[in-house]
Amino acid sequence: MKNELKKLEKAALAALEQVKSSADLDAYHTKYLGRKGELTGLLRGLKDLSPEDKKTFGKATNELKIELEGKFKMKQNEFEHAEISKSLKDEWIDLSAPGTTTKRGHIHPLYQVQEEVERIFQQMGFSVVDGPEIESEYYNFEGLNIPADHPARDMQDTFFIDKKADKDEGRLVLRTHTSPNQIRAMKKYGVPLRIIVPGRVFRNEATDASHEHTFDQVEGLMIDKDISIAHLKGVMLEFLQRLFKKEMKIRFRPGYFPFVEPGLELDMSCIFCDGKGCKVCKKTGWIEFMGCGMTHPHVLRAGGIDPDEYQGWAFGFGLTRLVMMRYGIDDIRHLTSGDLRFAEQF
């Protein structure tokens, strides 16, 4: 009996060593520890022994049973752990990993500023209106009191389209400024009028860092009874202070534009040095901002408005220039390049 126990122990331990899978382990259990297994066989045989031997071998067989079951359990645990860690590895999700984001576009810097400009003027009771980029010579020039011999009418400055405009409005042109919308708006909406017209304009320019054939302007127009330059000053100072979010100064200088009389240039205190004088304002403390003036009676008449009853003012500034100055953009061509490395900086 003693020998049989020793043999069984040796065989069982050696067999356990050979177990490589959980299927092997099941087979092992059936063979040695199962109901019909070898150890159970030995235990059954105990009943035929003398009471003395029963006691000794009973104890030894039980000890062997405890040993083998213990080792079997350990092996079983090993397999279970291996399975769990494999499935953990397969299903592992790193919750701290950054998500994959969808690439989203954003508004171009030019139109971010345009929206700001629109909002400020809307807050002051101005409407934002639009007009055609392909204009007639009449609206772009004559209606605005720009005579046929004005240098702006030169082929060098204007893109002419090889086609006549409707009615008696001359040829078609790409608008060289947003000013034609002064007349369009007067005709369409009548008086009183408070509008701004942001939009693209086109000039036949040789392109360089500060000239482009396509750029953006904002036109403004206010017409009512008893309107003066004081209103223009008030509106523009308020506008600039809201735009740059600081106290500003403005000043007027005489300027010539055929569609205003008197014609003015508006300068603003330099936003970089607050008027102290720096590189940007060339030590003057002032930056040229726009052309403006009291709307010329010819222009009011072209818009169907009686200049003896109504008067108003108009202005036009370069949105492109404003954006360049604000962000220190040194080459106008960046703005229309479509280069994302540029646009994504804003």
CB of 260 to ligand DAH, least distance (A): 4
In whole angstroms, the minimum distance from the beta carbon of 310 to ligand DAH comes to: 16
> From the CB of 151, what's the least distance to ligand DAH, in Å?
12
Cα–Cα distance between 188 and 173 in angstroms, integer? Answer: 21
Phi-psi region of 98 (alpha: psi -120 to 50; beta: other; left: phi over 0): beta
Which residues in 139-178 contact ligand DAH (CB under 6 A)?
177
For residues 219 and 337, is the Cβ–Cβ distance under 8 A?
no
Number of chain residues interacting with ligand DAH (CB under 6 A): 11
Do 186 and 193 meet the contact criterion of CB atoms below 8 Å apart? yes
Nearer to ligand DAH, 199 or 293 (CB): 293
Residue placing its CB nearer to ligand DAH in the complex, 314 or 332:
314
Minimum separation from the CB atom of position 247 to ligand DAH (A): 25
Q: Are 342 and 110 in contact (CB under 8 A)?
A: no
Least distance from ligand DAH to the Cβ atom of residue 346, Å = 25
Bond from prior residue into 262 cis (ω within 30 degrees of 0): yes
C-alpha to C-alpha distance for 11 and 9, rounded to whole angstroms? 6
- Residue with smaller CB distance to ligand DAH, 68 or 193: 193
Which of 14, 230 has the CB closer to ligand DAH?
Answer: 230
**222-281: contacts with ligand DAH (CB under 6 A):** 257, 260
Closest approach, Cβ 339 to ligand DAH, in A, equals 27
- In degrees rounded to 5, what are phi and psi of residue 39? -65, -40
Q: Which amino acid is at 252?
A: F
226, 310 contact by CB (below 8 A): no
- Asked if 216 touches ligand DAH (CB under 6 A), the answer is no
CB of 197 to ligand DAH, least distance (A): 9
Check: CB of residue 223 under 8 Å from CB of residue 310: yes
With CB atoms as reference, the residue minimizing the distance to ligand DAH is 316
Compose the 284-323 pattern: x for residues touching ligand DAH by CB under 6 A, - for all others. -------xxx--------------------xxx-------
Distance, in Å, from the CA atom of 328 to the CA atom of 338, rounded to the nearest integer, reads 18
What residues numbered 171-190 form the site for ligand DAH, per CB under 6 A? 177, 179
Angle between helices 2-18 and 38-45 (to 10 degrees): 170
Burial class (CB in 10 A: 0-12, 13-18, 19+), 162: exposed
Q: Which is nearer to ligand DAH, 303 or 316 (CB)?
A: 316
Measured from the CB atom, the residue of 135 and 219 that comes closer to ligand DAH is 219
Per CB under 6 A, residues contacting ligand DAH are 177, 179, 219, 257, 260, 291-293, 314-316
